[in-house]
A and B are shown apart, each in its own frame.
Chain A
Amino acid sequence: MKTIPPTCPEPETGRKYWRSMDQLAETPEFKQWVEREFPEGASEWSDPVSRRHFVKIMSASFMLAGMGLAGSGCRRPEEKILPFSKMPENYVHGVAQFYATAMPTRCGAIPLVVKSNDGRPTKLEGNPSHPDSNGGTDRWAQASILNLYDPDRAQACTNNGKLVTEEVVADFLTGLSKSAQENGGQGLAFLLERNTSPSRLRLQKALVQKLPQAKWYVHEAIDVDAGRRAASQAFGKPVKPFYQFDAAKVIVSLDCDFIGSEEDAHNNIKGFSKGRSVEENAGALNRLYAVESLMTLTGFNSDHRLRIPCSAVAQVAAGLAAGIGGIPGVPNVGALAGVDPNWITECAKDLAKHKGQSLVVAGYRQPLAVHLLAHAMNAALGNVGKTVLFHEIPDSPEGSLTELASALTAGQVATLIILGANPVYNAAADLNWVEAQKKAKTVVRLGYYEDETSLLCHWHLPMAHYLESWGDALTSDGTLVPVQPLIAPLFGGWTEIQVLARLAGEKAITAYEVVRETFAALAGAENVEERWKKFLFDGFLPGSAAKPAEVKFNEGVLSQAAADLKPSLPSKDKLEVVFQRDYSVDDGRYSNNGWLQEMPDPVTKMVWDNAVLISRKTAQELGFKNMEVVEIKLGGKSIQGPIWVQPGQADYSLGLPLGYGRDTKLRVGRGVGFDAYPLRTTTAQNFAVGATITATGKTYTLACTQDHWSMEGRPIIREANLEQFQSKPDFAKAMKQEEPPVVEPLYANPLKRLEAGQLGTNGSPAHHQWGMSIDLNKCVGCQACMMACQSENNVPIVGKDQVRRGREMHWIRIDRYYAGSPKKTAYGDTFITEEKQQFEQWIDDPQAVTQPMLCQHCEAAPCENVCPVNATVHDQEGLNLMVYNRCVGTRYCSNNCPYKVRRFNYFDYNKRGIGKNLYWGPLRHRPEDEYDLVKMIKNPDVTVRMRGVMEKCTYCIQRIEGAKIAQKVKAGASNDVIVPTDSFTTACAQACPANAIVFGNISDPKSRVSQLKKKSRDYAVLEFLLTKPRTTYLAKVRNPNPAMPDYVDFKEGPWSLQNYETKMGNPFVEEGEKHGAEAAAPKGAE
């Protein structure tokens, strides 16, 4: 409203002041401006009925808000589905579509089949028809779909921080291309990330021809390419190793976490687990020796583990090479302090015994010399062509980031084009990258996030997710796979192929055409159209796998490299730091991925953080304990991080996981953990000796999903040595605790009724009875299943604070236990607080076991009879159902569940997101953009649970029902409604690269699960409670070498078995003998 201020009488006398010339002139505009309370246009409604209308709208919205407030807590919101007005042909609502594509990785690709619901990709699965895939994936692939719907993605092109349209960018790139061609690319530099795309390679070659002066560089913060470089040097031509873990009977890992953090881990797991399978190898299991400083998943699964600092691995490698013999040029390094020389001798003997059936692998962290030694050993052992193949690959002539930095500093680069890499965050500290980058006149960046590097770039282009882009890649076996989009770029992203094509001057060309052309070049010209279609349909080009190259080891290289083997061992005042590729966030590229942030680290079980991993002895000598913040100084740089005592960590060696401590706008990754990159230098990319550590006096809380480390001698995971297993194949059954007498239940078990012919629909003799079998001998603990389950079942993340309160929502978890020599443990240790276990001696050299734990679908489920409202009930197919709609949330079921697999929605995690919002309840909502995007990832077949209800694994009931419905549709009137044997499986089983999880119909004798359940190793966890779980486990069998010095410690069996024995008695003694021999001992086994 217009308020006219009272006129101010002009003073009669005195000087006259004026505010402006307008006032002096008394213009009408000025008069009006003075009179107005608000500027023109802001204070009046042009619509004559506006006030009335306004009040009407406001009262209506207040009423609606009131209703919403009153109702929002109690009712789910009603949402209308908009039907098609004209139905597209062959489209069925609610039926998902599947497309083949692939996820490019640094040195390969993961072939995928992606589920799409109404145009939204919702779930990734491995492509089982790919010749080198069993349908397994890794945790990064499973979680990568969340990145697609990340609200923090770079969403628009910018030029100097201002939004510009795509056309402007396109014109700029064309202009850049033209001007570069004029001077042959002088002053132009490209910084790439590593990948295997043949199309990119083709464009690169084209660009090299057009712009001969342009320079090419590659940057990977975690350079996993060392094996290739070493192989090329060792064999005199550009080759890369391709390991056949399934063919190896003896595997030696030289600081190579091939199961966890090396490239292509899911394929390694596939091979390793195959060689570990009791059934498939007829008693000849593979044997794994691990030499490492950090406790890794490979160390978890090893039969013998040598715990030494990273910098001493080279000496062990030399020792092994010397032990094998026949390798000229091996440096004589002498005995390694603190290492039993027999360990190396016997390990070498075991390798020598398995000529052509052994494998030595070196980790990316190790220097070239160790890789050369590994290749030399493989060559000497005759493994080349058997357990390790070499594929010829095009040499990559790109320079390194160091070279680029010096070129920049020298002012040789005017225009820098960064395709993907984030050097501002993760370049080596001594490069002084930020200063170097500022030297370039124009920096163009194609980036997935507006991250550290984007802030210092002139042009920023949003990168498309691989599920939005056309591309191609080669899997590790060399097979060509397509990267095809499942969805149009959500935010108009660019791919590197597009950018390169644009710069190559191909104005109108699309990425699709580039890829198709590459395909035509690789696949041959005939019948291209049909083969292209089939290529996209299959998701790979059959027969395109690389042929193993004939190679000969060039012995001269060893003696050159041997000069590098300068032993520099860490000590108390000169600690070693080891930079680790993080199991969750990789090098930081996944730090804004909530699923991965909340995925417990498979080793430490820590979430939402990294920590300074340290051994018990080192921590004690230096006087630190868990969660104390320390300052680590190395070469003038320092970082701060909390201490975490990691069992099995090498003494005087500190593990520093990379990829945390991001200081960006990313709402998930921001401020999580500490940044270890500032300690990294070009000379010490992976580890360095000479660090010192000082206390800061601060503490920091870490959230861990598993606080207790020991199994306490309980027969939860049952294991034995191979010889023991062979002498008593049913040892797992002998380890069960005493059972109470079985009372015949009032209502017969459906399985029994089925056998008695009392069940069956419409006269069909059999019925579905679902069950699961998990082979603990194959499970390596990689946690791909956890991510698959999270993706399939709409499992929310809850944030660090909630995890600290034990409220994580994962339906499947990987329990990890450490077992130490029983001699080193005292009885009273069991009862101490979890904080004290970090001081216990037994954690120095533990054995580790992992066990996927999910709802066991007990036939006599303890959760069911305590629910007062019938919200958890059993069905005729043996499933323990959870009826979310009926649940009131008394949480009694969880209290009574002995497996502790039920999860409770303490808050509305889906609606409120994570963090402080949870505690504000209805007063705070999730940001709209975040909520809208995150909703798109939900599996429409699975209910999104509200607060106050219990949830748990359902055996992917949506898949079960889907399969049943499909079969019913197919059966028509024929009554053949039994789902075909093993025609579908759960998300966890599907994602498992080790094939450790098998799900199926246990009433079908042909199904894999019912065959596995007949094995002698089959047992149920806590069977003495008579819960009769449908999920059973196959006991673990270790294969240690009796000649090894550390075999002494577990001659009787694995340490967890000995631990069990002290409490329950020896399961390998027959019942009769036991009564005579140890009448006084508590009767534990029968």
Chain B
Amino acid sequence: MSAHAVPANVPQPPAELERIPLVANNRSFGWISNQVAALCEGPAPFWWWVLFIPSACALGFLGFCLSYQISTGVGVWGNMHPVMWAWDIVNFVWWIGIGHAGTLISAILFLLRQRWRTAVNRAAEAMTIFAVMCAGIYPALHVGRMWYDWWLFPIPNSNSIWPQFRSPLMWDVFAVSTYFTVSVLFWYMGLIPDLAVMRDRAKTKLRQFLYGLGALGWTGSNRHWSNYEKAYLILAGLSTPLVLSVHSIVSLDFAVSQLPGWHTTIFPPYFVAGAVFSGFGMVLTLLIPLRSMFKLQDIITMRHIDVMCKVTLATGSIVGYAYTMEFFIAWYSGNPNERFHFMNRAIGPYNWAWLLMVIPNVVVPQVFWFKWCRKTLWFVWIVSIVVNVGMWFERFVIIVIGLHREFLPSSWGYYHPTWVDIGTYIGTFGLFFTCFLLFVRFLPMIAISEVKGVTPQSDPHHPAGGAKVEEKEPDDE
């Protein structure tokens, strides 16, 4: 075992070719543990309460709106004949889309060995789970008789009536529930080593017990790590097709029907791209403020922001391409109903919604070609919000414009939302932020063990491999 020392004659690469480390300022393992775990220890910062209380109020309002809707009828919403789906399904698809980035980051980027994902994957996965929870409310409660929702599940019953397997709504049930289950499992799996860290740092019996319960007896032994890595890889492999399937199947809700503007084969890839687009938008919206509030600039570095901006640019461009293709196909097909639909989108009574879709989704992300735009945090943050607004309107355009003028002009109409529609939507934000704030408060929002794995010193060949470096507080940016 004498030849294990630093290789003798390997020349150091020139500085410009050196990889920029994923954790800035050459932080030590201890610093990382302290910095991340400390967020869940000690009293909650003031800003946390400032955000939490309105979120909890909004969650309460969600409860009120849904109780009102359940007790009184779907009519309290604004949807109508012919626009029988409106904000309910718009919000469902929007939230599901947001729920896309987390699993994409954690599974696909894991398989593709994109090591930068470690800094953001935990929060993104949490975002996914909470977004899917928000999304799940809509299909469950937008129906007329929600107490019979269980009929959508293939449960053997005395009437021997099964769900209708030809219906895309049926597929939705499977796609979304599978996606949610696997996402939760994946997220929890990754949390185990970090929960053990929390357990070991716990200063009260209760915390020790609860974190210990979650840590499932993790000791950090080699055997644990070996099993963990295999299981994580398997789950990543399982999740990857789900990332593609869930939004493809959601898109089939529209593509399988025969409405002009809905019945089109480009929907599955286009919806997936759109979902990734909006998901990254939401990750940026959440993480930019969090990294500075939690002083995590060394872990979520400007490089992470830069990469995510580039993903946003790429997916935004795919979405823009899809919009263009829809118009092209409508023209090229020669189908007068398709042509009418797309003309009506662009210059009909809802063209304001169409503009609110095209400008934020296609035009605005193009600024990310410029480095300044990717580097300026406030600017990125605003663009990320614009992207989410744009993606909301994409769903609005598809659903509402698709339905409001169809085959028979006698049944054309114009849809207006009610306060309950708006209140329910605000309420789902309450649910989302309440869950997310509780998450950042009580669970490590950065994957501690994984981030440690991407620090230079975790490389056994690193000169300072495993060595302790003097700790120094980084300067605030």
- Report which A residues bind B (CB closer than 8 A): 73-74, 706-708, 710-712, 714, 716, 737-738, 802, 805-808, 813, 815-817, 828, 830-834, 851, 853, 862, 865-870, 886-892, 894-896, 898-900, 903-908, 918-922, 946-950, 1021-1022, 1025, 1063-1064, 1082-1084
B residues in contact with A828, CB < 8 Å: 347
Given the interface contacts A868-B152, A891-B84, A907-B72, does A830 sit within 8 Å of B144 by beta carbon?
no
Is B356 positioned at the interface, with any CB of A under 8 Å from its CB? no
Query: Which of A714, A716, A890, A1082 is within 8 Å of B169, CB to CB?
Result: A890
Is B218 positioned at the interface, with any CB of A under 8 Å from its CB? no
B residues in contact with A714, CB < 8 Å: 336, 407-409
Given the interface contacts A714-B409, A831-B344, does A867 sit within 8 Å of B167 by beta carbon?
yes
Residues 41-81 of chain B, each 1 if its beta carbon lies under 8 Å from chain A, else 0: 00000000000000000000000000010111111101111
Of the candidates A813, A851, A853, A947, the one having the most CB atoms from chain B within 10 angstroms of its own CB is A947
List 5 contacting pairs A-B, 8 Å CB cutoff, sorted by A.
A706-B410, A805-B78, A896-B257, A900-B82, A948-B74
Across the interface, do A868 and B173 meet the contact criterion of CB distance under 8 Å? yes
Is B148 positioned at the interface, with any CB of A under 8 Å from its CB? yes
Across the interface, do A889 and B163 meet the contact criterion of CB distance under 8 Å? no
Across the interface, do A888 and B334 meet the contact criterion of CB distance under 8 Å? no
How distant is A608 from chain B, measured CB to nearest CB, in Å? 16
Is B170 positioned at the interface, with any CB of A under 8 Å from its CB? yes
Per DSSP, chain A at the interface is loop
A residues in contact with B253, CB < 8 Å: 892
**Apart from A712-B409, A866-B166, what 15 extra A-B contacts exist at CB < 8 Å?**
A711-B409, A738-B334, A805-B80, A806-B82, A806-B413, A817-B409, A833-B349, A866-B167, A866-B256, A900-B410, A900-B411, A918-B73, A918-B75, A919-B72, A1084-B336
Across the interface, do B336 and A870 meet the contact criterion of CB distance under 8 Å? no
Across the interface, do A1022 and B73 meet the contact criterion of CB distance under 8 Å? no
Complex CA–CA separation, A807 to B412 (angstroms): 13
Write the chain B residue with the least CB distance to A740: B335
Across the interface, do B259 and A922 meet the contact criterion of CB distance under 8 Å? no
Across the interface, do B164 and A870 meet the contact criterion of CB distance under 8 Å? yes
Across the interface, do A712 and B406 meet the contact criterion of CB distance under 8 Å? no
How distant is B248 from chain A, measured CB to nearest CB, in Å? 17
Is B161 positioned at the interface, with any CB of A under 8 Å from its CB? yes
Is B162 positioned at the interface, with any CB of A under 8 Å from its CB? yes
Query: Which of B75, B85, B144, B408 is within 8 Å of A895, CB to CB?
Result: B85
Across the interface, do A892 and B414 meet the contact criterion of CB distance under 8 Å? no
A residues in contact with B72, CB < 8 Å: 907, 918-922
Across the interface, do B80 and A891 meet the contact criterion of CB distance under 8 Å? no
Residues 115-152 of chain B, each 1 if its beta carbon lies under 8 Å from chain A, else 0: 00000000000000000000000000011111111011
Is B232 positioned at the interface, with any CB of A under 8 Å from its CB? no
Across the interface, do B349 and A906 meet the contact criterion of CB distance under 8 Å? no
Across the interface, do B336 and A1082 meet the contact criterion of CB distance under 8 Å? yes
Across the interface, do B75 and A892 meet the contact criterion of CB distance under 8 Å? no
Of the candidates B73, B142, B169, the one having the most CB atoms from chain A within 10 angstroms of its own CB is B73
> Which residues of B, 391-423, contact A by the 8 Å Cβ criterion?
403, 406-414, 416
Given the interface contacts A896-B259, A900-B406, does A834 sit within 8 Å of B414 by beta carbon?
yes
Across the interface, do A816 and B410 meet the contact criterion of CB distance under 8 Å? yes
Is B214 positioned at the interface, with any CB of A under 8 Å from its CB? no
How distant is B251 from chain A, measured CB to nearest CB, in Å? 14
Is B439 positioned at the interface, with any CB of A under 8 Å from its CB? no
How distant is B397 from chain A, measured CB to nearest CB, in Å? 15
Complex CA–CA separation, A710 to B403 (angstroms): 18
A residues in contact with B407, CB < 8 Å: 714, 898-900, 1022, 1025
Query: Which of A712, A865, A1082 is within 8 Å of B166, CB to CB?
Result: A865
B residues in contact with A707, CB < 8 Å: 412-414
Across the interface, do B144 and A888 meet the contact criterion of CB distance under 8 Å? yes
Complex CA–CA separation, A920 to B75 (angstroms): 11
Is B258 positioned at the interface, with any CB of A under 8 Å from its CB? yes
Complex CA–CA separation, A712 to B411 (angstroms): 13
Is B323 positioned at the interface, with any CB of A under 8 Å from its CB? no
A residues in contact with B143, CB < 8 Å: 888-891, 948
Across the interface, do B80 and A807 meet the contact criterion of CB distance under 8 Å? yes
B residues in contact with A890, CB < 8 Å: 142-144, 169
B residues in contact with A805, CB < 8 Å: 75, 78, 80, 416
A residues in contact with B173, CB < 8 Å: 868
How distant is A61 from chain B, measured CB to nearest CB, in Å? 21
Complex CA–CA separation, A708 to B253 (angstroms): 28
Across the interface, do B409 and A866 meet the contact criterion of CB distance under 8 Å? no
Given the interface contacts A868-B167, A899-B407, does A708 sit within 8 Å of B412 by beta carbon?
yes
Across the interface, do B164 and A891 meet the contact criterion of CB distance under 8 Å? no
Given the interface contacts A712-B409, A866-B257, A869-B151, does A900 sit within 8 Å of B81 by beta carbon?
yes
A residues in contact with B256, CB < 8 Å: 865-866
Give the bracket for the number of chain B residues in contact with chain A.
35 or more
Query: Which of B164, B334, B335 is within 8 Å of A868, CB to CB?
Result: B164
Of the candidates A806, A834, A868, A906, the one having the most CB atoms from chain B within 10 angstroms of its own CB is A868
Of the candidates B147, B409, B410, the one having the most CB atoms from chain A within 10 angstroms of its own CB is B410
Write the chain A residue with the least CB distance to B164: A870
Across the interface, do B340 and A830 meet the contact criterion of CB distance under 8 Å? yes
A residues in contact with B343, CB < 8 Å: 830-831
Query: Which of B144, B146, B169, B334 is within 8 Å of A866, CB to CB?
Result: B169
Across the interface, do A898 and B408 meet the contact criterion of CB distance under 8 Å? yes
How distant is B75 from chain A, measured CB to nearest CB, in Å? 3
A residues in contact with B85, CB < 8 Å: 891-892, 895
How distant is A551 from chain B, measured CB to nearest CB, in Å? 46
Across the interface, do A708 and B410 meet the contact criterion of CB distance under 8 Å? yes
Write the chain B residue with the least CB distance to A901: B411
Complex CA–CA separation, A918 to B75 (angstroms): 9
Complex CA–CA separation, A348 to B148 (angstroms): 68
Given the interface contacts A831-B347, A891-B85, A905-B144, does A900 sit within 8 Å of B164 by beta carbon?
no
Given the interface contacts A898-B408, A899-B408, A1083-B334, does A921 sit within 8 Å of B81 by beta carbon?
no
Is B348 positioned at the interface, with any CB of A under 8 Å from its CB? yes
How distant is B86 from chain A, measured CB to nearest CB, in Å? 10
Across the interface, do B152 and A888 meet the contact criterion of CB distance under 8 Å? yes
Complex CA–CA separation, A870 to B151 (angstroms): 10
Is B269 positioned at the interface, with any CB of A under 8 Å from its CB? no
Complex CA–CA separation, A908 to B73 (angstroms): 8
Across the interface, do B82 and A737 meet the contact criterion of CB distance under 8 Å? no
Across the interface, do A903 and B81 meet the contact criterion of CB distance under 8 Å? yes
Across the interface, do B144 and A710 meet the contact criterion of CB distance under 8 Å? no
A residues in contact with B348, CB < 8 Å: 831-833
Across the interface, do B148 and A898 meet the contact criterion of CB distance under 8 Å? no
Across the interface, do A894 and B84 meet the contact criterion of CB distance under 8 Å? yes
Complex CA–CA separation, A73 to B413 (angstroms): 30
A residues in contact with B75, CB < 8 Å: 802, 805, 807, 906-907, 918-919, 947
Across the interface, do A896 and B258 meet the contact criterion of CB distance under 8 Å? yes
Write the chain B residue with the least CB distance to A711: B409
Complex CA–CA separation, A894 to B403 (angstroms): 10
Across the interface, do A895 and B413 meet the contact criterion of CB distance under 8 Å? no
Across the interface, do B336 and A1063 meet the contact criterion of CB distance under 8 Å? yes
Residues 329-357 of chain B, each 1 if its beta carbon lies under 8 Å from chain A, else 0: 00000111100100110011100000000
Across the interface, do B258 and A888 meet the contact criterion of CB distance under 8 Å? no
Across the interface, do B412 and A947 meet the contact criterion of CB distance under 8 Å? no
> Which residues of B, 76-111, contact A by the 8 Å Cβ criterion?
76, 78-85
Across the interface, do A74 and B347 meet the contact criterion of CB distance under 8 Å? no
Across the interface, do B71 and A806 meet the contact criterion of CB distance under 8 Å? no
Complex CA–CA separation, A890 to B173 (angstroms): 13
A residues in contact with B163, CB < 8 Å: 868-870
Given the interface contacts A817-B410, A888-B152, does A922 sit within 8 Å of B71 by beta carbon?
yes
Across the interface, do B80 and A949 meet the contact criterion of CB distance under 8 Å? no
Given the interface contacts A815-B410, A834-B414, does A906 sit within 8 Å of B74 by beta carbon?
yes
B residues in contact with A716, CB < 8 Å: 408-409
Write the chain A residue with the least CB distance to B83: A806
B residues in contact with A948, CB < 8 Å: 73-74, 143-146
Complex CA–CA separation, A707 to B411 (angstroms): 8
Residues 233-277 of chain B, each 1 if its beta carbon lies under 8 Å from chain A, else 0: 000000000000000000001001111000000000000000000
Of the candidates B75, B142, B348, the one having the most CB atoms from chain A within 10 angstroms of its own CB is B75
